[in-house]
Structure 1
Amino acid sequence: MNKPIQPSQTNAYYVQAILSFGLSLTAMTIAVIYLPAAGWVRAFLGLGLLYLVTSTITLSKVVRDRQELSGVSTRVDQARLDKLLAEHDPFRVDS
């Protein structure tokens, strides 16, 4: 049977994603710290930044979990179909 091709990520893509996230988080943190505004404004923006980061991580986990669940249900459906096809004998005569 043909196995479905699983999408794979290269190490370079993984490193690029981590570096991009780290760089953007660092840049925004520095920008909030050195913003010429009152302390409470910087604190408010810092809280907004933290909320944005945590919600982004949560969203990425939800999307990943949904994709994995979709892959599992597809494999289960494929296994059921394979079993039905294996058990089916088109030349069997019912008496």
Structure 2
Amino acid sequence: MTTPVQRPMTAAFFVQAALSFALALVSVAVGIAWLPVDSWQRGFLALGLVFLVSSTFTLAKCVRDRQESQEVTHRVDQARIDKILSEHDPFDLKQP
């Protein structure tokens, strides 16, 4: 059985990505807070910001899941599982 290849991610890259996301989120939130508009307009923009952030995380997860499902090791493991399931007879009492 082959083990999946782990792609290394440096700590500096992770910190840079987290800090850039935090800086962008805070700057947009401050921009919305200081915008000279009514409170309902500010609330609408804040709600849009929350929706944008949540959909960004969902999109990132979908892209990651698609990439993982297309890896060769995953497809080989899935083929093995499919073979085992197709050969298994739940009504055969002789199998352990």
Q: TM-score, normalised by structure 2?
A: 0.69
Name 1:53's counterpart in structure 2. 53
**Structure 2, unaligned runs of 5 or more:** 81-96
Larger Rg: 1
Tell me: higher relative CO, structure 1 or 2? Use CA pairs within 8 A at least 6 residues apart: 2
Identical columns (%): 52
Q: TM-score, normalised by structure 1?
A: 0.70
**Number of equivalences:** 77
CA distance in 2 between partners of 1:32 and 1:4 (Å): 44
CA distance in 2 between partners of 1:66 and 1:21 (Å): 23
CA distance in 2 between partners of 1:57 and 1:41 (Å): 25
**Structure 1, unaligned runs of 5 or more:** 81-95
Is the counterpart of residue 25 in structure 1 residue 44 in structure 2?
no
Q: Assess if the C-alpha contact under 8 Å between 2:32 and 2:45 holds in 1.
A: yes
Superposed CA RMSD in Å reads: 2.4
Sort the Cα spacing of 1:13 and 1:59 in 2 relative to 1 into closer, same or farther, 3 A.
Answer: same
